[in-house]
Amino acid sequence: MQVQSVRRDQASSRIGLRYEHQEFEFEIPFTDEASAENAIHCACLMLHLGMEGETIRRRMSGLQPVAMRLELKQGIHHSLVINDTYNSDLGSLDLALDFLNSQAQGRQTTLILSDILQTGLPPQTLYARVAELLRAKSVGRLIGVGPGISGCAACFDLPARYFPDTESLLGEQDFSSLQDQAILVKGARPFGFERVSDRLQQKDHQTILEINLEALVHNLNVFRALLRPGVRTMGMVKAFSYGSGSAEIAGVLQYHRVDCLAVAYADEGKALRQGGITLPIVVMNPELRDLDILDHYRLEPEVYSMELLHRLARRKEHGRTLPIHLKVDTGMHRLGFLPGQLPGLLAFLGSAPGLKVASVFSHFAASDDPRHDAFTREQLQAFTQACATLEAGLGHSFLRHISNSAAVARFPEAQLDMVRLGIGLYGVSPDAGIQERLQQVSTFRSVVSQVKHVGKGGTVGYDRAWKAREPREVAVVPVGYADGLHRRLGNGRGHLLVGGRAVPLVGNISMDMCTVDVTGLGVSPGDEVIVFGPERPVTELAREMGTIPYEVLTSVSQRVKRVYYQ
Ligand SMILES: *Cc1c(COP(=O)(O)O)cnc(C)c1O
């Protein structure tokens, strides 16, 4: 075939081909290696068959992602379980092992693998390749299931056990040896590995927060496409990544090459390090008593006061230099050095060789609100001025950053050296155009526990706050204010989605459950309930609650299990 070259821009999913001396460019709606490679093969073939460039471009942009859904769940014995029980071939094994490694959070890895069917390769060749792949991906242990893989045990040089079929695995193993493991369950369909992953998974509560990691990556790429060349990204993963989890989200951001991460507290940074995160981590609220943790886990403090600076400098008279991040207050009037304090700051830094200013930053007070755009520009102006003063005084450059998610699109001139992405990654933007391109990352879901017929005059819930004026059907849902469903949403102010329809919350919300009016909708126990998710934007619930999406996302309580999938 006459394709001369292929160019692929990693971040933006744009692919360029040179075919018979003509440049041809197209875009695909994903960024992962496997999809890009697929698309390139297809485009080559279509060009070869003489199809129009315009047709190819149009068709490519309408592609759906290949259904490869890797689920990550909490397992028994503190393990993590990744489920890929529907297909099994070398390519998907390769991808799934990458996902396993990116999510292992420092755990040992175990692969439970069935025979790989229909490859057309002789078993010895096939399993020699599998063995090579397992070596390359540093898999810790193998559990092989099926006559094919068992017969080729000699190919493998890692600790392994083999079983002739799924029944014997389930019969013989109590899985207690899989303590603290990251486990990939991967089997060809006839092996029925759903039963294996069922056994390995902690039983979910009915109420879960489901996190779509692919949507997170998609959102990251939406923002990357808005950045000027060379601008770096800091992933804001404070407050359990806005409620979505900590090391899980950080692991995905690290894998997709954000430049650094930020948390609010040293303990959050420590948890990320223990979860295998190696990126630089900035701690925005370092406390004086956390200095040991900062040291031990290589966390980099935000410095916002002379007192903190003095303490750090005293600690750092010996040992390796500590990167610090200076916060300048340009009008938010929370933490940070005021411009008038910069001369004193510079004088002190000149005599503190153990500290190195890695970045200088500030924070916009209202970058999402057009009514305050003039103020936002003043903040930017004050910030660039402060940076110039600091750079002249220090005699070296540093990264400058002031933009949060909202500012990225609204004030491109404020992108400077780096932007700090928070709520946008999780799928929320104040800008309608960008909101349209983002995907909501989390779905807060539950199921109906019971449906009650309430006669005329009957009341529902505490304080008898709601009364049926005519016979009604009321569904009970096991989500209460202790899960993050705020009590002020009761009595008609808020809505849930039941079986795809918005229904009003009636009565007071209890600690562990709530009630919705589902009269005439034919709802039964077990039916799906969505508190928020792609079908029911978190912004809508926030409006009903009289707050902002940030608060809704971060108030889903820790007792609600997080389930990740990709
Ligand atoms: C939380 C936070 C951000 C992220 O803001 P979003 O509006 O969520 O993008 C950026 N910078 C600082 C200092 C923050 O604390």
> Residue 124 and residue 400: Cα distance in Å, rounded?
56
Reduced to 3 states (helix: H, G, I; strand: E, B; else coil), residue 383 is helix
d(CA 284, CA 32): 32
* pLDDT tens across the length of the chain (566 residues): 566 677 766 555 678 888 777 777 887 766 666 677 778 888 888 888 888 888 888 787 766 555 456 778 878 878 889 988 666 788 889 989 988 988 888 899 999 999 998 888 999 999 999 999 999 999 999 999 999 999 999 999 999 999 999 999 998 877 878 888 999 999 988 898 988 988 888 765 689 999 999 999 999 999 999 999 999 999 999 999 999 988 899 999 999 999 999 999 999 999 999 988 999 999 999 988 888 899 899 999 999 999 999 999 988 777 778 999 999 999 999 999 999 999 999 999 998 889 999 999 999 999 999 999 999 999 999 999 999 999 999 999 999 999 999 999 999 999 999 999 999 999 999 999 999 999 999 999 999 999 999 999 999 999 999 999 999 999 999 999 999 999 999 999 999 999 899 999 999 999 999 999 999 999 998 899 999 999 999 999 999 999 999 999 999 999 998 988 87
What is the structure's pLDDT at 79?
86
One-letter-per-residue 3-state SS of 306-365: HHHHHHHHHHCCCCCCEEEEEEECCCCCCCCECHHHHHHHHHHHCCCCCEEEEEEECCCC
Q: Cβ(423) to ligand 1 under 6 A?
A: yes
Encoded tokens for 308 = 């903190």
Q: How far apart are CA 88 and CA 313, in angstroms?
A: 55
State both tokens at 401.
Answer: 């950053």
For residue 61, the Cα-to-chain-centroid distance in whole angstroms is 24
CB 527 within 8 A of CB 447: yes
d(CA 286, CA 302): 7
Q: Which residues pair with 172 in a beta bridge?
A: none
Neighbours of 442 (CB within 10 A): 26
456 part of the active site = no
DSSP state of 478: S
How distant is the alpha carbon of residue 240 from its chain centre? Answer: 10
- Angle between helices 53-61 and 33-48 in degrees, nearest 10: 150
Q: CA–CA distance from 235 to each of 240, 281, 300 (Å)?
A: 12, 9, 14
Residue 463 C-beta-side C-alpha neighbours within 13 Å:
9
Helix axes 33-48, 90-103, angle to 10 degrees: 150
Q: For residue 67, what pLDDT is reported?
A: 46
Residue 238 CA to ligand 1 center (angstroms) comes to 9
- Report the nearest atom of ligand 1 relative to the CA of 423: 8
Residue 314 · residue 292 · CB < 8 Å = no
Question: How far is residue 394's CA from residue 389's CA, in Å, rounded to a whole number?
Answer: 9
How confident is the model at residue 69, as a pLDDT?
65
> Is the CB–ligand 1 distance for residue 406 below 6 Å?
yes
Could you tell me which of 152, 144, 148, 109 has the C-alpha nearest to residue 128? Answer: 152
What pLDDT sits at residue 361?
Answer: 98
Tokens of 36: 């890009």
Q: How far apart are CA 280 and CA 276, in angstroms?
A: 12
Of ligand 1's listed atoms, the one at least distance from the Cα of 368 is 7
Distances in Å between the Cα of 520 and the Cα atoms of 208, 431, 453, 475, 524 are: 27, 38, 11, 12, 11
C-alpha of residue 212 to centroid of ligand 1, in Å: 21
User: Among this protein's residues, is 565 annotated catalytic?
Assistant: no
Angle at which helices 266-274 and 247-255 pack, to 10 degrees? 70
Residue 22 has what pLDDT?
A: 75
Tokens 């300048």 found at: 328
218 three-state secondary structure: helix
Cα–Cα distance between 517 and 308 in angstroms, integer? 54
Q: How far is the CA of 493 from the centre of ligand 1 (A)?
A: 29
| Cβ-based neighbour number of residue 450 at 10 Å | 13
Which residues make beta-bridge pairs with 83?
71, 185
Rounded CA separation 240/276 (Å)? 16
pLDDT of residue 18: 81
For residue 421, the ligand 1 atom closest to its alpha carbon is 9
Tally Cβ neighbours within 10 Å of residue 234: 27
DSSP at 230? T
Cα–Cα dist 549/545, whole Å: 10
Query: Does the C-beta of 405 come closer than 6 Å to ligand 1?
Result: yes
Ligand 1 in reach of 404 Cβ (< 6 A): yes
CB neighbours of residue 465 within 10 Å = 14
Q: What is the CA radius of gyration of the chain?
A: 27
d(CA 93, CA 115): 12
Q: What values do phi and psi take at 83, rounded to 5?
A: -110, 120
Read off φ and ψ for residue 490, nearest 5 degrees: -70, 175
Q: Please tell me the distance from the alpha carbon of residue 421 to that of residue 405, in angstroms, as a whole number.
A: 5
N-term to C-term CA, the chain: 35
Q: Is the dihedral of CA 519, 524, 527, 531 positive or negative?
A: positive
* DSSP one-letter code for 424: T
Pocket probe for ligand 1: among 404, 419, 441, 538, the residue whose CB has the most ligand atoms within 8 Å is: 404
Atom of ligand 1 nearest to the CA of 264: 15
Other C-beta atoms closer than 10 Å to the C-beta of 497 total 18
